[in-house]
Each structure stands twice: as structure tokens, then as C-alpha cells.
Amino acid sequence: METKDFSFQGKVYLGTRLAGGKPGVLRWVGDSPKCEVALSTESETRRESYSGKRLPSARLQKGSDAKVSMTLNWANADNLALGLYGKIITVAGGSVTAEVLPTGLVAGDVIALDRGGVSTLVITDSTASPVTATEGTHYALESANGGIVRIIDPASLVQPLKAAYQHTASRDVSMFTGKPPERYLLLDGINTLDNSPVKMRLYRLQFDPFSSIPLINEGFGTLELEGAALYDDEAALDDDFGGFGKIEQSTAVA
């Protein structure tokens, strides 16, 4: 007997779209507790003018829309880039030499180095024979991960000061440096009531930027993504595909 009730769970994949509405390489977005599609139509209703009751006599369909809402629990670089319209820059671990610090530093000033994940920090001054600053006397490394340095007493040093250090690798995400991302969406899920498979496809999905990014919060942070399914005229050439997407319910593999 076919189950009527449902509660879906599964993995959401995003990827590139290939010709003909087919998916390219897909990437699992990680734990996604919400993935919803809201369908709507735009229409115009005509009312007759002969009965005295102005009753609806015809309805003209003007368009259809499919809005997508997703909650992402994982704030990795790939997920952040979706809502930041950004590029991912992979920076290898390495070393920095003679990074010039801001001038006019006084006791109590806090500065940020260009890179984080700092180790073996050495700060020197700008004399002909550079004087090496002493940690704990002239400066303090407030945060190695953040590359944050606090100036304690620079009076005996000639500015600008210069920093040399090792830094760890990182994946950096820029903001608004790319076009609105367009992805192919595939949900590989199950109905948890009977473990029957369900698959959802959206051939062209374009995301809006994040409305907010929870940088500091008391509990777990989430990324909220909104987007719209776009019409794929190549996929629509196949009557079984249609131009937006489809839901597949199949028999589980024995």
C-alpha cells in the first residue's frame, strides 16, 4: 500500500548545469534542515458585467514562479560564496617578510597582520641595522589565529615597524565580486515514514544574497538562502523533464 503521509530528509546537492538540463559535478551542501519550494502563479481575473453580481467569468494565467528557501548549518567557504556573491581564494601556508605596520603606533594600539594563523612572529624597526622588538616588552601577540598584535611600548623603536612570520593556509571568500550564482539542485532523500526514495531536481536555481550573516550569536548559527527556479528551455524540450524541475518517487533498491 502506498504511503500517503510523509516527512522527507536527505542530502541537498548543488552543481553546475550542463547542456540539455543535465547536472554536472555536484557538491553536497552539508546538513540542511530546511529545503522548501513555494509555487505561485500570476493571473488576471475578468468579471462579467451582465448579471449584476460581477462574477468571475475568465482567468488569464500570466506566469508561474518557484521560490526556494534553504537553511544551511555548515558555514564552509563554498556555502558562504553562494550568498556573498563571492570568489573563493585558496591561500597556501607560507611566510611573510617585512610586512610594514601602520605608522604612528603608540602604547595600547592594536593592529591586524595581513594573514592569520601566525607563528614565529618577529617584529623589527626601521633603523639601518634593524632592532628586533621584544615580545612582552614592545608588543604582544593577542591572537595567533587572528593575527592580532597589541603594541606595549614602541618608544625605543624607529617606525614604521616591520613584521615577519609564518602563516597557515586558508580559504578566503570575497563579497560581491562575482555574478549571482546559478546552480543545479538535486535532493537525494527518503520519506522517513517508510524509507521510500524521493528525488527533487531544479534545473536552474539562482540565489539571492544573504539577508544577514550571524557573526556572533548565543546558539548555533545558520545560513538562510533564498532563490528562484529559472526556466530551462533546453530541459523543456523533453516533455518528461519540463522547464523547471521534477520530483521522482521510486521503489527502494532491494
Question: What pLDDT, on the 0 to 100 scale, is given for residue 45?
Answer: 94
Of 119, 136, 167, which one is at a domain's C-terminal end?
A: 167
Say if 50 falls within a structural domain: no
Residue 83's φ and ψ, nearest 5 degrees, are -95, -5
Confirm if 224 and 69 have CB atoms less than 8 A apart: yes
Question: What pLDDT, on the 0 to 100 scale, is given for residue 2?
Answer: 60
Residue 130 shares a structural domain with residue 230: no
pLDDT one-digit tens code per residue, 170-195: 999 999 998 999 999 999 999 998 88
Residue 179 shares a structural domain with residue 70: yes
pLDDT one-digit tens code per residue, 205-232: 999 999 999 999 899 999 999 999 988 8
CA–CA separation, 195 vs 252, rounded Å?
8
Residue 141 shares a structural domain with residue 194: no
Residue 80 shares a structural domain with residue 108: no
Number of folded domains that form the chain: 2
Question: What pLDDT, on the 0 to 100 scale, is given for residue 118?
Answer: 98
Say if 223 falls within a structural domain: yes
**Which residues of the chain, if any, have pLDDT below 70?**
1-3
Give the domain extent around 236: 8-43+58-88+174-249
Of 115, 132, 167, which one is at a domain's C-terminal end?
A: 167
Say if 48 falls within a structural domain: no
Residue 27 shares a structural domain with residue 153: no
Residue 230's φ and ψ, nearest 5 degrees, are -105, 155
* pTM for this model (two decimals): 0.85
Residue 120 shares a structural domain with residue 239: no
CA separation, residue 110 to residues 93, 107, 147 (Å): 24, 9, 10
Residue 78 shares a structural domain with residue 180: yes
Say if 120 falls within a structural domain: yes
Residue 179 shares a structural domain with residue 162: no
Residue 39 shares a structural domain with residue 79: yes
Say if 208 falls within a structural domain: yes
CA–CA separation, 74 vs 238, rounded Å?
35
Question: What pLDDT, on the 0 to 100 scale, is given for residue 13?
Answer: 97
